[in-house]
Structure 1
């Protein structure tokens, strides 16, 4: 099946397969707004429930948005990939009502390992955080390869 798909079509099909089971991203109100090979953009509106005692965006929710963008980017090649290591640097605060956008791009992909950078911005384009994720591929694909009927389990 995948032999007839372009890299862009394969990225879109992989993202659709992932999104169908991604209860966390959907449950937090994230929207996938862009997918391409090695790239993904997700957006989310920061709610009052996502703020901390300082009345700013809780870092865990900002991290979750960046992590989801990273996940879609590193899985865009139809090879199941998981996070091996992630780090984030918070640069400026977010506030309830802000629309956060996480834009992920592939920096390196060799063998089973990948490196992805994710920038999180608000609706004015201000940079709120920089995230770097290291991925590792595992067994399985999102879209069956030619002759396959099962994409196999992750892990």
Structure 2
């Protein structure tokens, strides 16, 4: 099994049990070893009282991309800590894309950066996640 095939299989297994990401309107665009890309279109129910995309939804999109990237090796992995910086508001109708990439992986700990952009490639947010591998795999190899 190639690293990309392993990442795709891990994503399929995770997606089958993930009720939150599809509920929010996300879709997986791409996964590979140490990286993932998810996207969603900002709908009316994603907009807050300021008329912009709720920051929690942007965080959720980035966090989901982070999760698929850090589980791409079929090693069960969870978030240890995350931070986000909001740069520009997402707006109703925007197509938001979260691109996660592995920055470092040492032992059981990893660092991942996720950039969230809109359809014009304007940066909406920058997210950094720290991961921690836990016992188990997503599927038998």
TM-score range, shorter chain: over 0.9
Where 2:58 maps in the other structure, the secondary structure is helix
| Equivalent position of 2:17 in the other structure | 21
Counterpart among 60, 65, 72 of residue 76 in structure 1: 72
What is the distance in 2 between the residues matched to 1:53 and 1:96?
12
Q: CA deviation at 1:52?
A: 1.1
| Equivalent position of 1:56 in the other structure | 52
What is the distance in 2 between the residues matched to 1:42 and 1:121?
11
Where 1:8 maps in the other structure, the secondary structure is helix
Alignment of 1:138-153 (within 5 A): 138-145=134-141
Q: How many residues align?
A: 141
TM-score by length of 1: 0.90
| Equivalent position of 2:82 in the other structure | 86
Runs of 5+ consecutive residues of structure 1 not aligned to the other structure: 146-155
| Equivalent position of 2:41 in the other structure | 45
| Equivalent position of 2:106 in the other structure | 110
TM-score by length of 2: 0.98
Runs of 5+ consecutive residues of structure 2 not aligned to the other structure: none
Counterpart among 95, 100, 107 of residue 96 in structure 2: 100
Where 1:67 maps in the other structure, the secondary structure is helix
| Equivalent position of 1:151 in the other structure | none
Larger-gyration structure (1/2): 1
Q: CA deviation at 1:53?
A: 1.1
Where 2:21 maps in the other structure, the secondary structure is helix
Q: Deviation string for 1:57-107 (max 9, x for gaps)?
A: 110000000000000000001000000000000000111111100000000
